[in-house]
Amino acid sequence: MAKQQKKEIGLAVIGCGTIGRIRAEFARAYPGVGWIGLCDIKSDLGNKLSDDIDADFFTNDYRELLNRPEVTATIIATDENFHFDPTMLAIEKGHDLFIEKPLATDARQSAKILAAIEANNIDAVVGYTQRFRRRFLAIKEKLNTGQIGDVHSVVTRAFMNRMVPIATVRRTQDRATLTPMVVSGTHSLDMSMWLMEGKVPKSVFAQSNDKVLSEWGTKDSTFGVFTMEDGTIWSMNISWALPEVWPGSVYGLEIGIVGTEGVIDIEDTHRDVVLASNHEQGGGYVPDGYNPPPRHVDFLTSYPPGDLHNGQLWGPMREETNSWFQRIYTGQDTPHATAADGHRNLLMTMAMDVSAKRGVPVALPADPDELMRELVG
């Protein structure tokens, strides 16, 4: 991205839940943000955040906010199923965009969003927070400089506490595409594809099961094997059905990357800092009305956005959000996932679900219409 003159940011935040709140709080502290408007269908959430950050405007109607002349940049932080309409309007208005993953939960809508972004030359990024952690940036640099040669074999495994899928699916009855891979496995998939940058997937064969989470309308686990055009093989596995008492607050990840001249073995399970306490530790994402059994052991630093100290969140989401402000304020290059990355990731995760449903490999790149016909009819 070319350097540009600094331009004051007029920010719209669509969605004032957990993630929208975090990013809005960072925005209020960033000197390049001169105006902040908020939108949420829940007035209590929106008004509370508006008061807390002294926002300039709040509404329940995203159209009213995005049509404000002050707005130059938009964060889409609604529930996963409701990204399409506000994103398309923000594109029409020419705003810089930060879209929480995925671009959409409908592959056809995702394709339309990407096409509109490209046709209107919009600078849009997708929220894959783990790209901003120091360890992964260090690994990326070693791969970029050829320290392990040509990568030919990769293994990725993600374990997650089941409070995350329960929190996700409780918000909607439209659950056909709210699967382990589409909602959460996409993070480890994006990280693996980023670390394998330049590798083009040719096919995937996957299998799933649902012994625990079938009552919630989703799967427990999905395991798959991708074959790349250059012959690289990659095992991509996730289970988000671990017990509520699992010490990992949210995410535990392992990645092994084997090249012709070396190997990088990543243990990102957070078991190196363990807390055991008589005090209940709560969970990373606990939906209203859901009362899981108490957790008294915690793998510290396993909450993906970061960790609280002195009432402030520190960690990758702070880095990611402030880097985006710098990106649009000064033109600085950043490691953000692009809209094209986000769309690719959605199609790959959905192809895994289709392969598991059919019991046969699926050729890539997959067709959005075919994916949606298979998954939702």
**How much is the pLDDT for 188?**
97
Q: Under DSSP, is residue 236 helix (H, G, I), strand (E, B) or coil? A: strand
Determine the average pLDDT of the residues in 65-78.
98
Q: Which of 84-88, 145-149, 159-163, 337-341 has the lowest mean pLDDT?
A: 159-163
Burial label for 238, CB within 10 Å (0-12, 13-18, 19+), is buried
Condensed to tens digits (0 to 9), the pLDDT of residues 13-42 reads 999 999 999 999 999 999 999 999 999 999
Provide the token pair at 227.
């074959």
Determine the average pLDDT of the residues in 300-322.
95
Give residue 5's pLDDT band: very low, low, confident or very high (50, 70, 90). Answer: low
Q: Is the pLDDT of residue 2 over 70?
A: no
Mean pLDDT, all residues of the chain: 94
**How much is the pLDDT for 13?**
98
* Integer CA distances (angstroms), 66 to 43, 111, 119, in order: 17, 22, 20
H helices present in the chain, as ranges: 18-29, 43-53, 62-66, 84-92, 107-119, 134-144, 163-169, 186-195, 316-330, 339-358, 368-376
Q: Which residues pair with 135 in a beta bridge?
A: none
Q: How far apart are CA 366 and CA 131, in angstroms?
A: 25
